[in-house]
Amino acid sequence: MKSSGRQLFALGIAVWAFAAGAGTAQGLEESDVQIWTQYQYQQRISEKLRGTWDLGYRELVSTEEELGEWSRFHLRGHVVYDRSERVSFEGGLGGFYSFREDPDDLAELRAWQGVIVYWPRITIAKRPFDVRHRFRLEQRWLRDRDLGTTEFSVRFRYRLASFIPLNRPTIEEKAFYLPLMGEWFWDVGGDEASEFFAARLRLSTGLGYVLSKNWTLEFRYTAQKSRDTVEDQFTTTDHIFDFRVRTSVRIRDLGRS
C-alpha cells in the first residue's frame, strides 16, 4: 500500500472511530430500532452507462411516545456514467411516502446529482479493494398530505465506503464480503424541512454474500444519529437492521453500485 493510501485509510478509520465515540459521549435523548428492506436491480446500458432502480420499505419498530410510529415506502431510479476507473457521475429521481401518526403523512419527491471517486486502491492481506467517496446534492420537495403544504430544501451528502472480500482474494462468486460505510448529511438551503430530523450521521457495517454473477444478498447494521431541526442539536440515535437483495449487478460493478 502506498504511503498516501495508508494515510488516507488511517484518517478514515480515525474519523469513523471519533464519530462513533462522540455519539456515545453526548448521551443522546432518544433510541429507536428500525427495520429496512430493499430490492435493487441494475442494468448495464453500455460499457460506461448503467441504470439502477430500487424498491424499499422501512419500519420503525420501537420509539418514544412523543415521536409516534412511522413507516416509509420508496421507489428510486438513477443512472451512472463511468467516466473512468476512478470517477463516475450520477443523477436520479425518487419518490417516498411516510405514514406517520404524529405529525401527518409526508410525501417526498427527491432529485439528485453526484460524483463518485474511487481512490485509493488498497491491498490488505492480498485482498484489493477501492475506497469510495460519494458527493451528492439533493433537491427535496416535501408535501404534508393533511395540511396540503409543500416545502423545498436542498441537502448535501458525503459517503465514505468500501467492500472488503473475506473468504476470497476478490469479490467473486461464493465470496463473503464486509461492507463499510460512513455518511454525513447537511441541509444547505431552502425551507425548513417538515420532518423531525434532517441532518444525520450514519455508520454501517455488515455481511454480504455473492450467490452468483448476478445475485447478492446483504445485511447491514447502521448506527444513525440525527439532529433535531428545531433545537439544532443531536437528540436521537437509531439502530437500523437493513436487508438488501441485488440482481443483475455484475460482480465487477458491485463495489461501484
Please check whether residue 234 is in contact with residue 28, taking contact to mean a CB–CB distance below 8 angstroms: yes
How far is Cα 28 from Cα 23, in angstroms, rounded to an integer? 7
If you search the block for the grid coordinates 492480498, which residue do you land on? 126
How far is Cα 16 from Cα 36, in angstroms, rounded to an integer? 23
Q: What is the DSSP string of 76-122?
A: EEEEEEE-SSSEEEEEEEEEEEEEESSS--EEEEEEEEEEEEEEEEE
Long-range contacts for 44-47 (Cβ within 8 Å, ≥24 apart)? 44/250, 44/253, 45/79, 47/82
| pLDDT recorded at residue 6 | 55
φ and ψ at 196, to 5 degrees? Answer: -60, -45
- In this structure, which amino acid lies at residue 183? E
| pLDDT recorded at residue 180 | 93
| pLDDT recorded at residue 192 | 56
What structural domains does the chain harbor?
A: 3-254 (2.40.128)
Q: What is the pLDDT along the chain (257 residues), one digit of tens a residue?
A: 454 455 445 545 544 554 444 444 344 456 788 999 999 999 999 999 999 999 999 998 865 554 447 899 999 999 999 999 999 999 999 999 998 776 678 899 999 999 999 999 888 777 878 899 999 999 999 998 877 889 898 999 999 999 989 999 888 999 999 999 999 998 887 765 545 556 788 999 999 999 998 899 999 999 988 776 555 555 677 899 999 999 988 877 777 77
Q: Which three cell numbers stand for residue 109?
A: 419527491
Decide the pairing of beta strands 233-247 and 70-82. unpaired
| pLDDT recorded at residue 228 | 61
How far is Cα 120 from Cα 224, in angstroms, rounded to an integer? 26
Using DSSP, state whether 133 is helix, strand or coil: strand
- In this structure, which amino acid lies at residue 62? S
| pLDDT recorded at residue 11 | 46
- In this structure, which amino acid lies at residue 84? S
- In this structure, which amino acid lies at residue 218? E
| pLDDT recorded at residue 229 | 57
pTM: 0.83
Long-range contacts for 82-87 (Cβ within 8 Å, ≥24 apart)? 82/47, 82/48, 82/49, 82/50, 82/256, 83/48, 85/118, 86/117, 86/118, 86/119, 87/115, 87/116, 87/117, 87/118
Q: Which three cell numbers stand for residue 94?
A: 425518487
